[in-house]
Amino acid sequence: MQNIVALAAMVAVVVLLVWSGVRAWQTKNSLLKWCGVILAAMPAVALSGASALTAAGIVRQHSRSAPAPDLKVEATPERIARGRAVADSFCAGCHSNSGVLSGGGDVGKDLPLPIGSFVPANLTPAGALKHWSDGEIFRAIRNGVDARGRWLAIMSFTNAGRLSDEDTKAVIAYIRSLPAGGEQTPEPQDRFSLLGLAMLGAGLLPDAKPVFTGVIVAPPKGPTARYGRYLLSYQDCRECHGKDLAGGIPGQLPPLGPDLAVVKDWSQAQFIATMRTGVDPNGHRLDEQMPWRPIGRMDDDELAAIYLYLVGLTRS
């Protein structure tokens, strides 16, 4: 609502500037006429462009939609345990700033530009998810759309939607098993600034992942490159380290990650130790923006799988 009011104010200022320019044009004094027209036209054109981009951003902000599947997740002990493993090694990176999946913090503060405030939701019963159906939680994870049909921008920028159907259900089962904790997340949790809306309207922000309503099946769990590929399909390594994991591109919105070919110079044990301690074999401490802590909560087979996938990558 605040952004719509701000947009209306921008349009009103443009109208006022245009009116001032017309008034200046009607002046008989040539110097005053041209000075008045130029002084009114320049900010009017700039503000008109900004208003148009902001309006386009608002339209894009409300254009995402996806169906919520009709499902009821059975909470078996095995499924809850698997959900906890996925949540600890992935979801916790954003959603456990104030406690176990109790949300808090602001992802927007970690971005290089002030495009808005993006508060990870409290996923425990103290938050809004206690009112959501299992299908609505599934949709939020898979396609970044909340129970009210609103776009969850940061969720749709991540690769959470590439979790397998079974792992997504496991996360839901685990979330349902949690005790209430923390504070309820302010609504809406995603708030674009005017700059963010203008960049969204101009296509300068990352594209949301496409809506997908098919089935995703994970390969058998084990220390294999195939399973490592699956793990990295939903972990957000490529957002920082580049699509081929050869390093990020200067100017990208997420933090700039190095070429992961460096892992080929490490042993499997050294890679696992790095993910567990945050210190690589050369004694270099990993940046705090690198989510090594949640990744390090994976078991040895999962970390071995990631290692085998990384050392097997070839550059085209």
Residue 204 lies in a domain: no
Which of these, 212, 206, 263, lies nearest to 236 by C-alpha position? 206
Start-end of H helices in 87-203: 92-95, 134-143, 153-157, 165-177, 194-201
Of 172, 193, 214, the position where a domain reaches its end is 193
Which pLDDT belongs to residue 1? Answer: 64
Residue 199 lies in a domain: no
pLDDT tens column, 264-297 = 999 999 999 999 999 999 999 999 889 999 999 9
Is pLDDT above 90 for 84?
yes
How many distinct structural domains can be found in the chain? Answer: 3
Of 193, 211, 242, the position where a domain reaches its end is 193
The answer to whether residues 109 and 175 belong to one domain is yes
Instruction: Decide if 169 contacts 105 (C-beta within 8 A).
Output: no
Residue 212 lies in a domain: no
Which pLDDT belongs to residue 316? Answer: 64
Is pLDDT above 70 for 301?
yes
Mean pLDDT computed over 220-225: 97
The answer to whether residues 233 and 277 belong to one domain is yes
The answer to whether residues 233 and 296 belong to one domain is yes
The answer to whether residues 6 and 34 belong to one domain is yes
pLDDT tens column, 11-47 = 788 788 788 878 878 887 877 778 877 887 788 788 8
DSSP assigned state of 69:
P
Which of these, 41, 36, 53, 33, lies nearest to 14 by C-alpha position? 41
The answer to whether residues 110 and 12 belong to one domain is no
Residue 85 lies in a domain: yes
Q: CA-to-CA distance for 244 and 316, rounded, in angstroms?
A: 9
83 pairs with which residues across the strands? none
Q: Which domain holds residue 189?
A: 77-193
Predicted structure pTM score:
0.87
Residue 167 lies in a domain: yes
Amino acid letter, 153: A
The answer to whether residues 125 and 171 belong to one domain is yes
b/e code 115-126 from CB counts within 10 Å (16+ = b): bbbbbbbbbbbb
When mean pLDDT is compared across 13-22, 60-69, 254-263, the lowest value belongs to 13-22
